Structure 1
Amino acid sequence: MPGGRAASGSTDAWFSPEDIYLFREGRHVRLYEKLGAHPVRVAADTGVHFAVWAPNAQSVSVIGDFNGWRKDAHPLKVRDDGSGLWAGFIAGISPGALYKYHIVARDSGYEVEKADPFAFRGELPPRTASVVCDGSYAWQDAAWMARRGERMALTAPVSIYEMHAGSWRRVPEQGGRWLSYRELASILPSYVADMGFTHVEFMPLTEHPFYGSWGYQTTGYFAPTARFGAPEDLMYLIDALHCQGIGVILDWVPSHFPTDLHGLGFFDGTHLFEHADPRRGYHPEWHSSLFNYGRHEVRSILVSSALYWLDRFHIDGLRVDGVASMLYRDYARAPGEWIPNAHGGRENEEAIQFLQELNEAVYRHYPDTQTIAEESTAWPQVSRPVYAGGLGFGYKWNMGWMHDTLDYMEKDPVYRKHHQGQLTFSLWYAFQENFVLPLSHDEVVYGKRSLIAKMPGDDWQRFANLRVLFAYMFCHPGKKLLFMGAEFAQWREWAHEDSLDWHLLDYEPHRGIQRLVRDLNTLYRGEPALHRADTEPAGFRWLDTGDWEQSVISFYRFAEPAAEPLLVVANFTPLPRHNYRLGVMWPGLWQEILNTDATIYGGSGQGNLGGLATAPVAAHGALQSLNLVLPPLAVLVFKAPPRPGSGN
């Protein structure tokens, strides 16, 4: 049997005084360099240094396949400074070894075997041991990394393809198994690039015991799930996406964790990571534990997890799940099921501090990345800097836009005229935050129906309505997010155990939707007016919101105030509108650069023959106007001629 007792003195040498100080203050942001299992060489011996935080333990030992899982073979040594850190070096073991920590609680004598909270790799679930991993990989994405800041900026086009790795494509010839990270790397980057998306957002890839949680019940905050391969295989996938010019966003869940015995709960015989009182430490909706953000060490560990993915995996952005559940102590709780803060309020002040520290750390160390909040309430200044009183996120999901727009689009067009305010309301607050417009996985599960199935009317109208929805989203201020399968109008709800219905692309209506999404991405990326001022009021101006009787809206988008705008006109009814007059800013030929009713998308082919010249007829307070044909259930986009006197 290799190894022996922990090497003398290795515990004290591993941590510097600064490490201990920052950890206990909650300001150590790279704990993954110190905690966990690290292959190292000590004197003449090669082996692994182990370190774990268990301040209330009487003893901690490493058990594994290298010592017959014997709890007396390799005890760790606790530091004598009160930090609660246990550490030790075991010679003779190497990457690939399986291990856990055997912990005996100090006061109760409670014994438990725990996976390493800092494991960089886990066993393939349902097995639960941690795996020693060296994490080495030779990256090839230097060109992407050098220019990443440009692609992640608020002024850049950001069109996100959200996906679940286990159900994007499967292999029917092999029992419907999912693709590995490397198999995804061979087809996903080219598909996403061909479709024109700028980023992929993966639903959580952190290790999780229950596949049906979609990754949102995380046990391994430093380990990619082994379901799809080894950590270096995920690195290979991210590298391949970067080499195709595609950014990678990871869904990350610091809001709660599952109660599985091998996980974080009751870790050292006490409620170490979570609150002991269930009114603060247990989530009634998700049946999971809630982090104790008031404990400095817990904040350090979570912030270190965030930076780990940015550092070791070259992740370009983190979408932070469940922010609303973190901000409010009474989230999903009835009266009497929660504890007010010290001021009698419902705000979770410790969580606010954690989120601010998280964002400050991310932007301090990786200013060319972004954090994105899934926050569903009206909490102010989510995407404003911490120094200005904000939470410090780069972006916030615009859940209000999503709910209002989908509710409007689900209505029969005959009733839409009574609800036009649902379309226009989002512009009252569109620039209070830096918004992402999400049509995410949450909208196509649990009986909510797929996007195409939500649309009213016969099949032709359903496809036409979906084209209107997508074009309206791409023309509305804000970055874009579309969940996989929607880009070709999958009829079924998303099912995590199945592949997407790629066979639908054998049918022309579905190919038409896919062509439109590709062209919308091309238009969005190619026209600065549609993205450069996404977060600025100067990038948008209404032309007409008042034609509720015909369910038509029109507005301008600007790259900058003095630039030539794009004119967007949307008809939300199946009735074509002929001789529809709109006053415009100046005379000339306004080029029709998008018509969602084009036959290549499955439309009826009505439109304006590629463009229209103005006539000196006053309308909408302007001296020049366009006499348009508005196709049924369609969005038109016109490019303005050069501004008079501009010299262009």
Structure 2
Amino acid sequence: AVIMALVHSHAVKNEAEGLSFFDGTEGQYFHEGGRGYHNSWDSKLFNYGKREVQQFLLSNVRYWLEEFHFDGYRFDGITSMLYFHHGDYTEFDHYDKYFKDGVEWDAVTYLQLANTVAHQTKPGVMTIAEDFSGMPGIARTPEDGGVGFNFRLGMGIPDFWIKYLKEKSDDDWNIEELWSVMTNRRYKEGTIAYAESHDQAIVGDKTTAFWLMDKEMYWHMHKDDDHLVIDCGVALHKLIRMFTGALGGEGYLTFIGNEFGHPEWIDFPREGNDWSYKYARRQWSLVDHPELKYQYLNNWDGGMVTLLKEHDIPSSYQAQQLNMDATNKTIVAERGNLIFIWNFHPSNAIPDYKFYVPQAGQYRIILNSDAPQFGGHNRIDESQVFETFEEDGVNKLSVYNTNRTALVLERIK
């Protein structure tokens, strides 16, 4: 699905390019005075209670679906819409803060209307709420008392990854914390998981690939160039994305180019870069080049997304934890009747690694990040069939658990 970021949360205050003072007055589209200005964003705020504003914005919802056939929207920055305080300097530590204190009811009503219009215009459309407040019901229907989105965006996930990449060596990653961040979400409200935020695709923070490999990406991405930093970065890039996609929600999102490790953000011409077009592009030539390692990451993304779709993992019940091994930084989990194994350890590769599985039988590997087509070291025999055995009164499997590797196993009988 191709999802468009829809920005109805604010508008540029520039009178030459935007709607500010469009008819010579302050209040045609926006609130007058302080209520119509976002201090943190330096932008104008719509008057969602005004019928003409509702018609204008709702026609915009229809336009992109009818004329350009997008599959859905990520509604940008809706925490700012939902509350008079815009979520600034606020801890959402009590339900009163969701339903009483400072709630912008006109905006809540508008978002219910926007979701209704989107779903009536294009049945099957996907709407995603970018809300960091955690408002209950954001991803339930208006009939259920909700706001009407299909999903909420799991905004804590990319924030977590970027914090880890900035502050910790992977030697210090805590697997209990990894598991908790991926699986802690509201019951029966769909969450879209994503490993990198739009700030890492459009000017802002570094991409995950660049945090992992930095300037070495400019010199050592040729397939014949063995380089320790690149090898580590490629392995962790694959692990991060599979861990997020398999555990983090009921859907998975990536921003264009990040899936193959694009090293740089998109930066549109603006005053701050002297109106340069230099970075206003995605270098698709990188992933198309047969001699560069970007193909490995792209191949992995394709294999991972195909597996998630074919086995309907996002629609499956939340993952069941089977094994947490802090010493070897290994997590084993079941979701959608598949067994997922992640070894985050920098060096520990363990032969005959045993772990519990819920069902007895024979298992085979259906995805292996250590495979050569994904830039791996080809240490695992994928033709092997793994048969359960009984130990300590439970069913167990034994595999070669290689370091910095993600494995997915399927029960065949």
TM-score (normalizing by structure 1):
0.54
Counterparts of 1:484 and 1:345, CA distance in 2: 38
Q: How far has the Cα of 1:436 moved from its partner?
A: 1.3
Q: Match for 1:487: what amino acid?
A: E
Instruction: Give yes or no for the alignment of 1:361 onto 2:140.
Output: no
Q: Percent identity?
A: 26
Q: How far has the Cα of 1:431 moved from its partner?
A: 3.8
Q: 8 Å contact 2:370–2:379 — kept in the other structure?
A: yes
Instruction: Give yes or no for the alignment of 1:314 onto 2:61.
Output: no
Corresponding residue of 1:633: 404
1:134-170 CA deviation, whole Å, 9 max, x = no partner? xxxxxxxxxxxxxxxxxxxxxxxxxxxxxxxxxxxxx
Instruction: Give yes or no for the alignment of 1:482 onto 2:254.
Output: yes
Instruction: Give yes or no for the alignment of 1:421 onto 2:177.
Output: yes
Instruction: Give yes or no for the alignment of 1:574 onto 2:327.
Output: no
> Helix, strand or coil for the counterpart of 1:465?
helix
Counterparts of 1:300 and 1:391, CA distance in 2: 18
* Pairing 1:591-606 to 2, within 5 Å after superposition: 591-606=364-379
CA 1:250–1:491 in 2, change beyond 3 Å: closer, same or farther?
closer
Corresponding residue of 1:261: 15
Counterparts of 1:316 and 1:489, CA distance in 2: 24
Counterparts of 2:160 and 2:88, CA distance in 1: 25
Q: Match for 2:351: what amino acid?
A: H
Q: How far has the Cα of 1:503 moved from its partner?
A: 4.4
RMSD: 2.6
Instruction: Identify the match of residue 401 of structure 1 among 140, 157, 166.
Output: 157
* Pairing 1:205-604 to 2, within 5 Å after superposition: 249-262=3-16, 263-270=18-25, 271-278=27-34, 280-331=35-86, 345-408=101-164, 411-417=168-174, 420-429=176-185, 431-438=187-194, 439-444=196-201, 446=203, 448-455=205-212, 458-476=229-247, 477-496=249-268, 497=277, 498=279, 499-505=281-287, 506=289, 507-528=291-312, 530-533=313-316, 538-544=317-323, 546-558=324-336, 565-575=337-347, 576-604=349-377
Q: How far has the Cα of 1:587 moved from its partner?
A: 2.6
Q: Match for 1:589: what amino acid?
A: Q
Counterparts of 1:344 and 1:378, CA distance in 2: 15
Counterparts of 1:493 and 1:308, CA distance in 2: 28
Which aligned runs of 4 or more in structure 1 are off by greater than 4 angstroms?
332-335, 444-447
What residue ranges of structure 2 are gaps of 5+ in the alignment? 91-96, 214-227, 269-276
1:509-550 CA deviation, whole Å, 9 max, x = no partner? 22211111121122222223x2342xxxx3532212x32232
Q: How far has the Cα of 1:382 moved from its partner?
A: 1.0
Q: How far has the Cα of 1:608 moved from its partner?
A: 4.5
Q: 8 Å contact 2:185–2:191 — kept in the other structure?
A: no
What residue ranges of structure 1 are gaps of 5+ in the alignment? 1-198, 201-248, 336-340, 559-564, 643-648
> Helix, strand or coil for the counterpart of 1:475?
helix
Q: How far has the Cα of 1:468 moved from its partner?
A: 0.7
Counterparts of 2:255 and 2:285, CA distance in 1: 18
Counterparts of 2:384 and 2:296, CA distance in 1: 22
1:18-57 CA deviation, whole Å, 9 max, x = no partner? xxxxxxxxxxxxxxxxxxxxxxxxxxxxxxxxxxxxxxxx
> Helix, strand or coil for the counterpart of 1:613?
strand
Counterparts of 2:75 and 2:133, CA distance in 1: 15
Q: Match for 1:515: what amino acid?
A: N
CA 1:308–1:615 in 2, change beyond 3 Å: closer, same or farther?
closer
1:480-521 CA deviation, whole Å, 9 max, x = no partner? 111222232222333343332344344442221111112112
CA 1:585–1:608 in 2, change beyond 3 Å: closer, same or farther?
farther
> Helix, strand or coil for the counterpart of 2:354?
strand
Q: 8 Å contact 2:201–2:256 — kept in the other structure?
A: no
> Helix, strand or coil for the counterpart of 2:173?
helix
Counterparts of 2:341 and 2:315, CA distance in 1: 20
Corresponding residue of 1:610: 383
Q: How far has the Cα of 1:365 moved from its partner?
A: 4.2
Q: How far has the Cα of 1:275 moved from its partner?
A: 0.8
> Helix, strand or coil for the counterpart of 1:358?
helix
* Pairing 1:76-87 to 2, within 5 Å after superposition: none
1:60-108 CA deviation, whole Å, 9 max, x = no partner? xxxxxxxxxxxxxxxxxxxxxxxxxxxxxxxxxxxxxxxxxxxxxxxxx
Q: How far has the Cα of 1:462 moved from its partner?
A: 0.8
Q: How far has the Cα of 1:306 moved from its partner?
A: 0.9
Q: Match for 1:613: what amino acid?
A: F
CA 1:503–1:371 in 2, change beyond 3 Å: closer, same or farther?
closer
Q: Match for 2:307: what amino acid?
A: L
Counterparts of 1:487 and 1:443, CA distance in 2: 12
1:576-633 CA deviation, whole Å, 9 max, x = no partner? 12221111123322110111011221112122433442242325xx622111111211
TM-score (normalizing by structure 2):
0.82
> Helix, strand or coil for the counterpart of 1:436?
strand
Paired residue total: 374
1:273-308 CA deviation, whole Å, 9 max, x = no partner? 111112x10112322110011222212221222123
Q: How far has the Cα of 1:332 moved from its partner?
A: 6.4
Deviates more, 1:498-507 or 1:473-482: 498-507
Counterparts of 1:446 and 1:347, CA distance in 2: 31
Deviates more, 1:301-310 or 1:451-460: 451-460
Counterparts of 2:87 and 2:179, CA distance in 1: 29
1:326-383 CA deviation, whole Å, 9 max, x = no partner? 0121126579xxxxx9x98221111111111222233244332122111122111111
* Pairing 1:88-237 to 2, within 5 Å after superposition: 199-200=1-2
> Which has more radius of gyration?
1
Q: Match for 2:41: what amino acid?
A: W
Q: 8 Å contact 1:408–1:422 — kept in the other structure?
A: no
Q: 8 Å contact 1:317–1:370 — kept in the other structure?
A: yes
CA 1:611–1:495 in 2, change beyond 3 Å: closer, same or farther?
farther
